[in-house]
């Protein structure tokens, strides 16, 4: 969800106001996802690299998390949305952690749209975490190195943990004109389709979102094989 800062600069307002506008856009996309029949939606809310930003901006983002939970929790529950957190959010301020815990617990048993929020998330960090856990299993004698498979690594990622089991993404969209994935789901995105738009995230509309999903539906996905094999 890229472009909040540039949106704020273009509108001559503080960066935190750009993040607030981005939050409003995210709410619209969550609703649109449910209407379009999207089963899994994952948003990159805060990366492990975002700590490098100013304390004022980072603090503002965390306050917005609390604001979002307080204002949207009832509607999310009414719409049967289930929320997962991908990343180690224990490092966030206590108020933010409490709000997130409250939200996850309240929506735990919903079985509608699965809304995954990547929070204090980094793809390389996630893979390193997986490798460390697998190394510990080998050290404990529960597995040998020759027994390791790609499925073992996947199972130890945030998305593959037993209580989440989130499938790999079919489509990854990045806004604001940047054409890179920036440490977002590098393992899971091996065969994801990629789309980029110059639209800044606060200006990204459900209509543009639906248009991109429509274009995606016509792509020929081969997963490394020949077209006649994968048809």
How far, in Å, are 11, 47, 125, 151, 188 from residue 130 at the CA level? 42, 18, 9, 11, 13
85 strand-pairing partners: 117
CA angle 124/127/131 to nearest 5° reads 135
Q: What is the pLDDT of residue 161?
A: 79
Q: What is the pLDDT of residue 223?
A: 77
Reading the chain (231 residues) residue by residue, the pLDDT tens digits are 999 999 999 999 999 999 999 999 999 999 999 999 999 999 999 999 999 999 999 999 999 999 999 999 999 999 999 999 999 999 999 999 999 999 999 999 999 999 999 999 999 999 999 999 999 999 999 999 999 999 999 999 999 977 778 999 999 999 999 999 999 999 999 999 999 999 999 999 999 999 999 999 999 887 776 665 555
The set of catalytic residues is 2, 50
Task: Specify the 3-state DSSP secondary structure of 176.
Answer: coil
Q: What is the pLDDT of residue 231?
A: 52
Tokens 């389709």 belong to 193
Read off the pTM: 0.92
The C-alpha atoms of residue 21 and residue 8 are separated, in whole angstroms, by: 9
What is the CB-side half-sphere exposure of residue 226 using CA atoms within 13 A? 2
Positions of E strands within the chain:
40-47, 82-86, 114-121, 171-174, 193-196
Q: What is the pLDDT of residue 222?
A: 78
């Amino acid at each position: 969800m890229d472009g909040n800062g540039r949106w704020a600069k273009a509108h001559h307002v503080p960066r935190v106001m750009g993040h607030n506008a981005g939050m409003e856009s995210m709410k619209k996309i969550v609703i649109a996802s449910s209407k379009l029949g999207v089963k899994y939606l994952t948003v990159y809310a805060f990366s492990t690299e975002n700590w490098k930003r100013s304390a004022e901006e980072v603090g503002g983002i965390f306050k917005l998390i609390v604001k979002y939970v307080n204002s949207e929790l009832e509607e999310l529950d009414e719409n049967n949305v289930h929320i997962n957190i991908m990343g180690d959010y224990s490092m966030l301020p206590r108020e933010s952690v409490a709000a997130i815990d409250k939200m996850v617990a309240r929506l735990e048993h919903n079985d509608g749209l699965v809304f995954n929020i990547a929070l204090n998330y980094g793809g390389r960090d996630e893979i390193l975490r997986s490798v460390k856990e697998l190394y510990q299993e080998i050290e404990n004698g529960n597995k040998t190195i020759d027994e390791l498979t790609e499925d073992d690594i996947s199972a130890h990622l945030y998305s593959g943990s037993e209580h989440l089991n989130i499938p790999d993404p079919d489509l990854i969209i990045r806004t604001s004109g940047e054409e890179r994935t920036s440490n977002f789901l590098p393992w899971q995105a091996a065969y994801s389709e990629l789309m980029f738009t110059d639209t800044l995230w606060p200006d990204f509309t459900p209509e543009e979102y639906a248009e991109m999903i429509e274009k995606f539906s016509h792509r020929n996905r081969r997963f490394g094989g020949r077209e006649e094999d994968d048809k």
